[in-house]
C-alpha cells in the first residue's frame, strides 16, 4: 500500500516502501506476508544461500536444472515485476583471495542475475564491493551489463561517516574509517564505464556524514535508501523514530524519487501502531513485526509540504535536456509563446520596472502633458506591451508605444490584440528586425525580454546593441544589466543521457534543463556581465573569465560532470529578476538553468581547488561558448570555434 498520496500531484515512485527479507523458498507466502503487512515490495534473495557451484556434482549439473532456485511459476509475471526486487547472495565475493570462493562467486553472480532478468524483475540488489579491491567484481559485472536487458542493478553502498571518527590508538581502524564510501562507488562505476543500468542503494547508518558530504549523493543514481532498524531511535512511548538529520535525509530521498527499504529485525518495544491501515495489516491475527517502522516512514511522507505550483508545473521537465532557443534564427511557435506568457511573476517585475522608470522620467507636475516614448523590442504576442500600459495607468503617465517584432506570425496576433484592447491610438506595431529598423523618433525607454538561461545566450547583447541607436542618450534600457553565473555539479543522469548519443557534438552543447537530481558542489560565481545602454565605441561582446571554485573540505571527493549556469538581471534600479539560486525570483518559471557538460568527468579531492575557464566568442554570423577545466586535471577544450554548438546572428 503506498505511503500516501501527495496533494502536490507528485506521483513519484518514492511513495513506495519495501522491506528486506531473509531467504524463503516459499516465495508466495513471503510476498503475501509482507504485502498484507503494508509493504509495497520485498527485497528478497532468490537463491538458496547454501548453494555453491563447486559443490554441485558435474554429472548432475549436466543432466538436470541447477538446484539454486524455485520455479518462476510460483508468482505471476506482474507480481515478480511489481513486488520483488532480487538480492544477490551475500556470500558472493568476487575479489576474494580464496580462488574457489572467487570462481564460485563469478559463476553464481552470472546465474543469479540471469535468473532475476528471466523473472522480469525491475531491479536486483548487489553486495557491497570489497573495500581494498573491487576490480574483478566490476569486470564481471561490466560483462553482464553489456548484455542485460532493462533491469537495474543496485550496488549496495554504506553511507558512512568518514570524518572526525578515527581512533588514534588503532592505526588499522583509522585507515579503514578514512575510506570514503563514495570513493568505493566512484571506483566501481568508473570500471563499469558509467553504465546507466548501474545505480546505488545507500545503506543508512545510525551516524551520518556531514550535510555537504551527504549532498553529493543527490547527483548520483541513487535508487533506494536502506534504513536498518538499528538506525531508529525510540520515542517516549517505545515506538521507533528517526533523528532530525535522518528525517531530513529521508524527506530528501522522497523529493528525489528514492525509495525507502526497511531492513533488520524489530528492536523496539512497540510491535505495532494504531491507525486506519491496521485492519489491512493483519494476517492470521498478527501484525507485521516491522509495521511500526513502516508507519513512521509513512508519517514522514505524509507530513511533507505539498509542492508549490511552480514545482508542480516543472515536474515533467526535471533533468530533461532541451536545446536552447535560437530566437534570431527561428520564429517561435504559438505554444512556446503561450508557455512564457503564463509567467505572471516575470511580467509583474517588468511592470514594476517600467513604472519606476516612468516616474523617474516624468515628474508628477508634468504627468498630464509629457508623453513618454517606449519601444518594446521583441514584442512577441504583446505581454510586455500590456505590462507597460498597466505601468502607465498605475503611475498616471502618458505613453506612446512602438511594438517591434520580427516574427510575422506574432505580428498577426499583435494586430488582433491592439484592435481587441482598443490600443490603436497608443500602440504602433512594427514588423521588423530591431537591428534593421529605422525608428521615426528616439525612445525614452527601451524594453526587451531577450534574456536566456545564461543571460546573454539568446544574443540579447547583439540585439540591444543594434536597437540602441534609437534610444535617447539619457534613455533607459530595461533590463539595464545582467550577469551569468556557473557552479560545478554532479549530474550522473544528465551525463549518461548525453553519453548515450555516442558523439562529440552532444558533449559540446549547452542544454536548458530543470536541474533536480544534481549535487551543487560549490556556490555560484559570476561569469559575464553586460550593461545597457553601452555607448562605448570600443565595447566588445566577446568575454573571457577564469574562475576558481573551492569545494568544502567536509564534502569529500566528488565527480564533476559539468556546470550549472544561471543569470541575474537588474531590470531597473532595485527591480531584478533571475534564476541564480541564492537570489532567484520566487515562482518564476520562464527560465530553467543551462548545463555545460564535460566530455570526461573530473574527480576532485577534498581541499583541492577547481580552476575553470569560460569564453564567449563571436564571428560575423554566430556566437558561441568555449569552456575547459585547467586544474586539478586538464580537460579538453570544449566547442572550439563553435564546431558543435553556436547561436546564429
Cβ(156)–Cβ(226) under 8 Å?
A: yes
Cβ(63)–Cβ(25) under 8 Å?
A: no
Give the three cell numbers for residue 48. Answer: 538458496
Residue numbers belonging to the annotated binding site for S-adenosyl-L-methionine: 337, 346-347, 405, 433-434
Active site residue 449: yes
Q: How far apart are CA 386 and CA 394, in angstroms?
A: 12
C-alpha pair distances (Å), 536 with each of 463, 568, 618: 16, 23, 18
373 HSE (CA, 13 A, CB side): 13
Q: How far apart are CA 358 and CA 374, in angstroms?
A: 10
Give the three cell numbers for residue 5. Answer: 498520496
Cβ(532)–Cβ(464) under 8 Å?
A: yes
Q: Nearest 5°: CA angle at 91, between 87 and 93?
A: 105
Residue in this structure with the C-alpha cell 570513493, named with its chain if needed: 183
453 CB-near residues (< 8 Å, 6+ apart) = 324, 512, 565, 566, 567, 579, 591, 592, 593, 594
SS3 380: coil
Burial category of 586 from C-beta neighbours within 10 Å (exposed 0-12, middle 13-18, buried 19 and up): exposed
Active site residue 112: no
Residue numbers belonging to the annotated binding site: 337, 346-347, 405, 433-434
Burial category of 351 from C-beta neighbours within 10 Å (exposed 0-12, middle 13-18, buried 19 and up): buried
C-alpha pair distances (Å), 154 with each of 122, 157, 202, 248: 10, 9, 9, 23
**Phi, psi (degrees; rounded to nearest 5) at 316:** -70, -10
The strand pairing partners of 447, in sequence order, are 376, 478
- Which one is catalytic: 112, 458, 508, 580? 458
C-alpha pair distances (Å), 630 with each of 599, 610, 614: 14, 8, 11
SS3 255: helix
A 10 A CB-CB count for 151 gives 20
Distance of CA 26 to the CA centre of its chain: 41
The strand pairing partners of 359, in sequence order, are none
- Which one is catalytic: 106, 449, 508, 580? 449
Cis-peptide, bond into residue 632, ω within 30° of zero: yes
76 CB-near residues (< 8 Å, 6+ apart) = none
User: Nearest-CA neighbor of 401 among 410, 416, 383, 53?
Assistant: 383
Q: How far apart are CA 10 and CA 508, in angstroms?
A: 33
**Phi, psi (degrees; rounded to nearest 5) at 630:** -105, -25
User: Nearest-CA neighbor of 467 among 406, 426, 416, 513?
Assistant: 406
Distance of CA 458 to the CA centre of its chain: 23
Q: How far apart are CA 461 and CA 435, in angstroms?
A: 11
Give the three cell numbers for residue 150. Answer: 532493462
Give the three cell numbers for residue 312. Answer: 508542480
Q: How far apart are CA 612 and CA 260, in angstroms?
A: 37
Residues serving a catalytic function are 449, 458
Amino acid at each position: 500500500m503506498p505511503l500516501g498520496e501527495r496533494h502536490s500531484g507528485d506521483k513519484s515512485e518514492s511513495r513506495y516502501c519495501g522491506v528486506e527479507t531473509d531467504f524463503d523458498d516459499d516465495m508466495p507466502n513471503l510476498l503475501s506476508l509482507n504485502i498484507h503487512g503494508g509493504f509495497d515490495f520485498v527485497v528478497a534473495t532468490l537463491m538458496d544461500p547454501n548453494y555453491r557451484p563447486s559443490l554441485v556434482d558435474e554429472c548432475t549439473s549436466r543432466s538436470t536444472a541447477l538446484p539454486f532456485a524455485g520455479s518462476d511459476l510460483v508468482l505471476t509475471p506482474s507480481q515478480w515485476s511489481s513486488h520483488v526486487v532480487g538480492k544477490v547472495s551475500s556470500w558472493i565475493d568476487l575479489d576474494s583471495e580464496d580462488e574457489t570462493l572467487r570462481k564460485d562467486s563469478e559463476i553464481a553472480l552470472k546465474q543469479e542475475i540471469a535468473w532475476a532478468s528471466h523473472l522480469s524483475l525491475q531491479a536486483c540488489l548487489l553486495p557491497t564491493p570489497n573495500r581494498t579491491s573491487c576490480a574483478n567484481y566490476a569486470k564481471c559485472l561490466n560483462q553482464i551489463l553489456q548484455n542485460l536487458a532493462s533491469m537495474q542493478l543496485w550496488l549496495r553502498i554504506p553511507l558512512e561517516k568518514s570524518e572526525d571518527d578515527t581512533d588514534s590508538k588503532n592505526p588499522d581502524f583509522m585507515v579503514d574509517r578514512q575510506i570514503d564510501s563514495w570513493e568505493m562507488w566512484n571506483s566501481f562505476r568508473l570500471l563499469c564505464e558509467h553504465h546507466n543500468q548501474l545505480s546505488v542503494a545507500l545503506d543508512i547508518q545510525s551516524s551520518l556524514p556531514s550535510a555537504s558530504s551527504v549532498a553529493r549523493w543527490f547527483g548520483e543514481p541513487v535508487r533506494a535508501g536502506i534504513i536498518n532498524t538499528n538506525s531508529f531511535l525510540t520515542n517516549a512511548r517505545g515506538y521507533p523514530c528517526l533523528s532530525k538529520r535522518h528525517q531530513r535525509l529521508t524527506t530528501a530521498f522522497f523529493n528525489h524519487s528514492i525509495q525507502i527499504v526497511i531492513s533488520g529485525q524489530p528492536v523496539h518495544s512497540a510491535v505495532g501502531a494504531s491507525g486506519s491501515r491496521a485492519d489491512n495489516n493483519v494476517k492470521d491475527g498478527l501484525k507485521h513485526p516491522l509495521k511500526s517502522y513502516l508507519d513512521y516512514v509513512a508519517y514522514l511522507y505524509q507530513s511533507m509540504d505539498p509542492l508549490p505550483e511552480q514545482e508542480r508545473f516543472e515536474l515533467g521537465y526535471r533533468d530533461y535536456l532541451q536545446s536552447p532557443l535560437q530566437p534570431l534564427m527561428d520564429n517561435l511557435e504559438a505554444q512556446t509563446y503561450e508557455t512564457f506568457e503564463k509567467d505572471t511573476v516575470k511580467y509583474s517585475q517588468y511592470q514594476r520596472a517600467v513604472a519606476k522608470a516612468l516616474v523617474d522620467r516624468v515628474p508628477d507636475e508634468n504627468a498630464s502633458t509629457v508623453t513618454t516614448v517606449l519601444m518594446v523590442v521583441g514584442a512577441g504576442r504583446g505581454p510586455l506591451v500590456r505590462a507597460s500600459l498597466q505601468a502607465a495607468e498605475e503611475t498616471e503617465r502618458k505613453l506612446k508605444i512602438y511594438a517591434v517584432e520580427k516574427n510575422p506570425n506574432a505580428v498577426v496576433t499583435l494586430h488582433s490584440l491592439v484592435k481587441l484592447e482598443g490600443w490603436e491610438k497608443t500602440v504602433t506595431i512594427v514588423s521588423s528586425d530591431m537591428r534593421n529598423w529605422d525608428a521615426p523618433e528616439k525612445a525614452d525607454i527601451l524594453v526587451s525580454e531577450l534574456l536566456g538561461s545564461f543571460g546573454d545566450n539568446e544574443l540579447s547583447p547583439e540585439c540591444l546593441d543594434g536597437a540602441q541607436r534609437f534610444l535617447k542618450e539619457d534613455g533607459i534600457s530595461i533590463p539595464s544589466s545582467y550577469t551569468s553565473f556557473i557552479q560545478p555539479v554532479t549530474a550522473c543522469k544528465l551525463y549518461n543521457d548525453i553519453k548515450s548519443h555516442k558523439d562529440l557534438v552532444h558533449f559540446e552543447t549547452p542544454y536548458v534543463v530543470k536541474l533536480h537530481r544534481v549535487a551543487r558542489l560549490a556556490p555560484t560565481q559570476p561569469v559575464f556581465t553586460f550593461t545597457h545602454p553601452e555607448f562605448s565605441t570600443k565595447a566588445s561582446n566577446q568575454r573571457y573569465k577564469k574562475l576558481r571554485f573551492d569545494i568544502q573540505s567536509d564534502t569529500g571527493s566528488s565527480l564533476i560532470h559539468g556546470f550549472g549556469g544561471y543569470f541575474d538581471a537588474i531590470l531597473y534600479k532595485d527591480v531584478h529578476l533571475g534564476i541564480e539560486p541564492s537570489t532567484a525570483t520566487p515562482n518564476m518559471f520562464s527560465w530553467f538553468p543551462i548545463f555545460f557538460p564535460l566530455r570526461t568527468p573530473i574527480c576532485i579531492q577534498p581541499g583541492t581547488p577547481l580552476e575553470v575557464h569560460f569564453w564567449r566568442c563571436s564571428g560575423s554570423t554566430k556566437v558561441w561558448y568555449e569552456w575547459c577545466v585547467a586544474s586539478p586535471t586538464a580537460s579538453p577544450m570544449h566547442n572550439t570555434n563553435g564546431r558543435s554548438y553556436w547561436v546564429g546572428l
